[in-house]
Amino acid sequence: MAAIYSLYIINKSGGLIFYKDYGSKGRMDTNDSLRVASLWHSMHAISQQLSPTNGCSGIELLEADTFDLHCFQSLTGTKYFVVCETGTQHMETLLKVIYELYTDYVLKNPFYEMEMPIRCELFDINLTQAIQKDRVALLGR
């Protein structure tokens, strides 16, 4: 069973710009993935406003009975989140690697338009390698 079920990248407006399924038990169709991304964006924004502490950046980890959801928000407001097995460690590091891949292969692509869906082959290739490397590291622990 895969440690990582799925990866989402949401733009600062809450639009889903990237989704990849890595073997979740119940595969979602396009509409469901859009709903999850929109719901997460809303929950993340509400949590920032409801936080009793100043400077809260929103929910970073959501733990459920059957999965964990780890989130990283860049300074530009783009959110990266993975849905993974409960108790999976070091997802923050993986999310930062994904952010680096996004900046290296998507933002530096002259044909990419900001806030639009990601269609970049080099990003896909390097993302697949990073996820595979992370799975191998998780199996070795």
The token pair that represents 39 in the structure block? 């719901």
| Chain segment 33-92, per-residue pLDDT in tens | 899 999 999 998 898 888 888 878 888 999 999 999 999 999 999 999 999 999 888 899
The domain at 4-140 falls in which architecture?
A: 2-Layer Sandwich (3.30)
Residue with tokens 């860049």: 74
Please tell me the predicted confidence (pLDDT) of residue 1. 42
| Local structure of 44: helix, strand or coil | helix
Q: How far apart are CA 102 and CA 17, in angstroms?
A: 11
Average pLDDT over residues 99-127: 95
Q: Smallest Cα–Cα separation from 25: which of 45, 51, 56, 2?
A: 2
Whether pTM > 0.85 for this model: the answer is yes
Is residue 141 scored above 70 in pLDDT?
Answer: no
